[in-house]
Structure 1
Amino acid sequence: MDSYAEIAYEVAAKVATVLLDRPEARNGYTIRMAGELAHALDRADRDEDVRAVVLGTTGKDFSVGADLSSGGFAFGDRPPDDWQEPAGRVSKRIFTMNKPVLAALRGASVGAGITITLSCDYRFASSDSKFGFVFTRRGIYPEGASAWFLPRLVGMGAAVDWMVSGRLFGPGEALQAGLVHQIHDPGDVLAQAQAKAKEIAETTAPVAVAVTRQLLYRMASAPSPFDVHQVDSKLISQLGSNPDAVEGIASFFQKRAPEFPLRVDRDLPPYLPWSSE
């Protein structure tokens, strides 16, 4: 897939920017958009010249959710054991990323337009943002694995309120609950997310970021800290021969920018519990 029809993709300063690009339809979410987003995320994750990904929009809305312009759901009924719904394809791919993903949300982020971002590491909102898990008001069910992600972000109380009522809410409530990290003017939110992504790209070690990101997500549900400490101990025991650790300490004492030599595509520790995925 060399070009996209419903998204845009570009790389600059080691940051891949992926934009939902159906502004005439307020970025209504389609099967094709889901496939293109999954492909672009995979492309960015495999590119060693990319250190972070920003997910944004070319229009005034991030996404109004599933495109219902045809009067219903374009995918119809599918065999439940042989099919994956399109929002989850994207949220799960973000979950498994080795690169951090930052969402720049503006206007409406509703239904799939918010659930696909719940596995992002950062969500920046605009002052005109409107959010809604509106499924119950359409007689349907939460998707994108959002029933797993949302309570972990905002707690069960807020998750139940938003999902059961299906009501819309604004950026202030989203910030207070922890759904978003910052609020910016609509014209600035994408640039602010890109600036944060560039900071991560310039100051952190790619392998350390990949391992840390996955430690947080994969081990948060561990039954006790002992399982996590087992992994910690293996990682820390090898710091003496870790070129990134040597460089990180040297650059700190020499007061210079670090140049980390390890690469995600070849240098991830092979014993991590999720390595088989």
Structure 2
Amino acid sequence: MTVPAHGEPAVGYELRDNGVAVLTLNRPERLNAWGMDIAVPFYELIDRADADEAVRVIVVTGAGRGFCAGADLSGGGATSTESLGDDLGNTDENALGAILGERQPYTLTALRKPVIAAINGACIGFGFTLALMCDVRFAGAGAKFGATFVRLGLVAEQGISWILPRVVGAAPAADLLLSGRKFDAAEASRLGLVKEVVDDEDLLARAIDYADELATRCSPWALAQIKGQLYDESDRANVAATTAKSVELMNLSIKQPDVIEGITSFFEKRNPQFPPLTADD
């Protein structure tokens, strides 16, 4: 597992006696914004948990005040919105891989074991996609959600245009993706995005209790078969194709002036001044 220079692992891993593996995104100083330092150990640990006979259920959560506040577009290197814009404008076709890693969130749907998300605080952008690819989601009362891509001049990324309509239906998915608005845990519950909303301090314990019940009362073989039924081969082909297209469009979008304006306006806390569509767009 990759360990950052300051000594704290970017993803924590705990295997509990009952067969529940808890993975904790561990960059709380940036609300666990997703970067390569998280991506590499996260997927290594996911593979480890799926292969380990002692693991029956996986729980994913975030340390501190956020589950995952989106992609760390600066890669930790940009010191201003201007340098961030330069970084994005100079990226090549491998830009997303350099930021998000080569594997995709839909990897979670292909695991043999159930994945439970305990969503604390910010669950935005890439973090929202990651949570949606988990099988069951619990949210703390203070959780905030948003598919904010469009407000940054970006497209719906990493397969969210496939998974979100499956979870909430076409009309709510259109609202959330086209508006890019943020919404709270109560609305997430009404939309069916989360199974339960619990007090923030009780969130992880409640998610682990649910995982405990699956681990102790449900057949691992049957759980694996049911996951295969939920996400069958045609679904996996669809999400793979949708994700590949979104990667292509995302690499195109970060070359547009819209993304620099979108991110700059976000940091400057003002409305963006996006250019209009032209006949060539």
What band does the TM-score fall into relative to the shorter chain?
0.7 to 0.9
Deviation per CA, 1:65-116: give whole Å up to 9, x if none. Answer: 1124524387863436995972782412201100000000011100011111
Q: Decide whether aligned partners of structure 1 residues 184 and 88 sit closer, same or farther in structure 2, where only a CA change above 3 A counts.
A: farther
Gaps of 5+ in 1: 223-277
**1:6 aligned to 2:20?**
no
Pair 1:31-2:45 in alignment: no
- Normalised to the residue count of structure 2, the TM-score between the two structures is 0.73
1:47 and 2:69 correspond: no
Q: How does 1:1-277 map to 2 (within 5 A)?
A: 1=1, 5-12=9-16, 13-69=18-74, 70=78, 71=81, 72=84, 77-79=91-93, 86=100, 89-218=103-232
Alignment CA distance shift 1:181-1:88 (3 Å)? farther
Shift, 1:2, TM fit: 7.0
Compute the displacement of 1:128 (Å): 0.6
SS in 1 for 2:232: helix
Q: In 2, Cα distance between the equivalents of 1:144 and 1:2?
A: 23
Q: Secondary structure at the match of 1:17?
A: strand
Tell whether the 8 Å contact from 1:124 to 1:181 is kept in structure 2 after alignment. yes
Which structure has more RCO (C-alpha within 8 Å, separation ≥ 6)?
Answer: 2
Aligned length: 222
The residue type paired with residue 63 of structure 2 is: T
> Does the CA contact (< 8 Å) of 2:36 and 2:98 recur in 1?
no
Aligned counterparts of 1:159 and 1:87: Cα–Cα separation in 2? 26
Alignment RMSD, CA only?
A: 2.5
Equivalents in 1 of 2:41, 2:193: separation in Å?
25
Give 2:110's aligned amino acid: T
- Provide Cα deviations, 1:118-177, integer angstroms capped at 9, x if missing partner: 121111011111100000111111212111000000001111101111000011111111
**Contact 2:125/2:148, CA 8 A, preserved across alignment:** yes
TM-score by length of 1: 0.74
The structure with the largest alpha-carbon Rg is 1
Name the SS for the 1:9 alignment partner.
strand
Give me the whole-angstrom Cα distance separating, in 2, the residues matched to 1:221 and 1:56: 26
- Taking every aligned residue pair, what percent have the same amino acid on both sides? 36
SS at match of 2:201: coil
Any gaps of 5 or more consecutive residues in structure 2?
237-281
Amino acid at match of 1:104: A
CA distance in 2, matches of 1:37, 1:92: 13
How far did residue 40 of structure 1 move? Answer: 1.1
